Chains A and B, each alone.
Chain A
Amino acid sequence: MDALQLLEELGRVEVVDADVLDRTADTLKAAIAVEERHRTDGDLADAHRLIAAPSGVGSDDRHEERRRSRHGGGRRRQRSSLRAAVTVVVVAAVGIAGALKPGTPGGPTPAAAAVLKHLALVAIGQPAGDVPGPGQFLYVESDEAYTSTTVGSPTYTVLMPEHRQIWVAPDGSGRLDESYGQPEFLSAQDHADWVAAGSPPLPHAPSDTSFGPGGLSLMDLSHLPTDPSSLAAQISSRQIEGGPPGTAEDFTQIGDLLRETDASPALRSALYQVAASLPGITSLGTVTDHAGRPGIGVAYVHGGEQDELVFDPQTSALLGEQNSVVGPGSAYRVGTVFGWIVFRQSAVVDSTATGPNGAPVPLPPASSAASPAVPIKGPKSVPTGG
């Protein structure tokens, strides 16, 4: 044994705790943020200029875009069955969650790129999450509210709160459990119109449905590049989801790849870097989501409406979303929050009767557990609007 070999061996004794690295990184980021804030304080005019450059997409089309891309197959499946049943309820499923800080509509900071790059780095430092294998399911629990417009005479719109649990396997089989809270009218006029329509019952009936293969869908992300420029090219050319051109759709599709998916840390990091490159993305700083959790908000404003994504600063995970009106051009009044989501928890589980950590979640009645690939799932008490 050579003395220098022994010396080298003695030096090979430690691995740093991840906690220590995380804590140090946070300290460093805080110091950097202070410095960057000082530097960007003079750039508010630029921020407002960015916000004032909406995409100009028409309101109805925008909602349709959202409905199509939000939440993947489960949501699409639900909507199509609603249409088939009565053709009068249009569920504009809109994501969102971070409550806007009062008085800061649009978010004034141009530091979104820095924030998103920071999130990209945090993501890279995260452990690889589980990916559901054969016979396993991705489980996601969320709460959300979305606009539900009942078309009839007259037509009215409510904000419908929903508690949602989804189990989805790579082959699209799984379970979707949704229950609804008391809706809120988006405006006094909506309330008056509801009364004029005869005050039909508002909350949707709860629904808990099992699906065979293809009934739901879990986006297959395994083929997506984790190189930001390649990923940006695939997103902007609409190879992944299709859809219209435009930055608003880019931002929506980035969100789609994060919602109820098993996106790896590397892919999330790449997505955040792609978002950082989008023109007009703004940083909202620290916001609070609808579950009261603080997070980092980034947003895109188009047609007077702000789509906001909120991320956990510690893990970079998507905490939630919010859609709100911040300027002229929307069908709703300025200040209206017309959608939000909070993602409560997600996990890979072995059974649709199991939640995270093996906690049992009782299955629906056996009849629906054996349902075909295309579920029979009507809106049991949805108003027909005449």
Chain B
Amino acid sequence: MDGTDTEAVERSPAGDGAAFVELFWHHGPAVHGYLSRRAGRQDADELLSEVWLRAFRSRSSYDHTVADTRPWLYGIARNVLRAHWRGQDRTRRSMEPAFTDPWPEADDRLDAFAQREALERGLATLSEDEREVLLLVVWEHLTPAQAAEALAIPQGTARSRLHRARTLVRDAFEIPGITGSTSLHNPSRSWSKEA
């Protein structure tokens, strides 16, 4: 596993497909996580290979001056997701399904219906770009600059969207009856309906 991501992608056009497979083993799980959080695990299982085949075919589009391939990969994954959503629901004008869909597994762990509803409400008030920047940062742990790169928007724009997204989500969440003192690390107890 020597070499940087950039080297792996650069070598590929010259015939070193193994280097690209190496890139997959590095980042495949994370890309799957992204797809799974946004489209559900079952769809993610199917979409993962589409993302990577598309990445392999379009590797010449990769900016070799950037050391981390993740923004590039998430940008491709984002496009695959959008196409997926379009195909899934042609009648919906929104590019993205309601937020309840990808979260059944979260339900198992977090029996926090009221809180999640509030969160969804907050996310629903965001524009698609705001939501995307927020989720790339919060869920995929990209920096705002990397999120900007993934979405092909200026860094300043990403930062301002992220700021606005955080504010809106917090505002929607801060509703009466929810306290801020529970622990994240014991969600089953802290977030049970009985609590």
A residues neighboring B (CB under 8 Å)? 1-11, 13-17, 20-21, 23-25, 27-29, 31-33, 35-36, 39-40, 114, 117-118, 120-121, 124-125, 228
Question: Interface with A: B67-75, B76-84, B106-114, B147-155, which one?
Answer: B106-114
Tell me the dominant secondary structure on chain A's binding face.
helix
* B53 at the binding interface (Cβ < 8 Å): yes
A-contacting residues, B1-44, CB 8 Å? 1-2, 15-22, 24-25, 28-29, 32-33, 36-37, 41, 44
A124 touches B138 (CB 8 A): no
B20 touches A28 (CB 8 A): yes
Picked from A1, A10, A23, A31, the residue with its CB within 8 Å of the CB of B53 is A31
Residues in B neighbouring A31, C-beta threshold 8 A: 53, 56
* B166 at the binding interface (Cβ < 8 Å): yes
Interface residues on B, range: 35 or more
Tell me the dominant secondary structure on chain B's binding face.
helix
Q: How many A-B residue pairs have CB under 8 A?
A: 132
B169 touches A4 (CB 8 A): yes
B180 touches A2 (CB 8 A): yes
A11 touches B139 (CB 8 A): yes
Max count, chain A CB within 10 A of own CB: residue among B21, B49, B118, B139: B21
Given the interface contacts A9-B184, A25-B24, does A36 sit within 8 Å of B17 by beta carbon?
yes
A1 touches B181 (CB 8 A): yes
Residues in B neighbouring A32, C-beta threshold 8 A: 17-18, 20-21, 56
User: Nearest-CB distance from A117 to chain B (Å)?
Assistant: 4
User: Nearest-CB distance from B45 to chain A (Å)?
Assistant: 5
* B124 at the binding interface (Cβ < 8 Å): no
Given the interface contacts A14-B41, A27-B53, does A20 sit within 8 Å of B48 by beta carbon?
yes
User: Nearest-CB distance from A57 to chain B (Å)?
Assistant: 30
Given the interface contacts A6-B112, A14-B33, A28-B20, does A23 sit within 8 Å of B28 by beta carbon?
no
Residues in A neighbouring B36, C-beta threshold 8 A: 14, 16
User: Nearest-CB distance from A306 to chain B (Å)?
Assistant: 24
Can you pick out 19 interface pairs between chain A and chain B where the beta carbons lie within 8 Å of each other? A1-B182, A5-B184, A7-B134, A8-B139, A9-B184, A11-B135, A13-B37, A13-B106, A16-B28, A16-B44, A20-B32, A21-B29, A24-B49, A25-B21, A28-B20, A29-B17, A117-B16, A124-B25, A125-B25
Chain B residue with Cβ nearest A122: B21
User: Nearest-CB distance from A35 to chain B (Å)?
Assistant: 7
* B174 at the binding interface (Cβ < 8 Å): yes
Q: A9-B187, A16-B32, A114-B17 are in contact. List 12 more A-B contacts (CB 8 A).
A: A6-B110, A6-B119, A10-B110, A16-B33, A27-B53, A28-B52, A28-B56, A31-B53, A35-B17, A121-B25, A124-B25, A228-B2
* B95 at the binding interface (Cβ < 8 Å): no
B45 touches A118 (CB 8 A): no
Chain B residue with Cβ nearest A33: B17
**With the chains together, A25 CA to B103 CA distance in Å?**
26
* B170 at the binding interface (Cβ < 8 Å): yes
User: Nearest-CB distance from A209 to chain B (Å)?
Assistant: 42
Q: Which 7 A-B pairs give the minimum distances between C-beta atoms?
A: A32-B17, A3-B173, A117-B18, A11-B139, A16-B32, A27-B49, A24-B49
A7 touches B119 (CB 8 A): yes
Picked from B37, B53, B119, B173, the residue with its CB within 8 Å of the CB of A14 is B37
* B122 at the binding interface (Cβ < 8 Å): yes
Residues in A neighbouring B182, C-beta threshold 8 A: 1
Picked from A10, A21, A120, the residue with its CB within 8 Å of the CB of B116 is A10
**With the chains together, A128 CA to B122 CA distance in Å?**
45
Given the interface contacts A9-B110, A25-B28, does A3 sit within 8 Å of B174 by beta carbon?
yes
Picked from A24, A29, A114, the residue with its CB within 8 Å of the CB of B15 is A114
**With the chains together, A40 CA to B15 CA distance in Å?**
9
Residues in B neighbouring A24, C-beta threshold 8 A: 24, 28, 48-49, 52
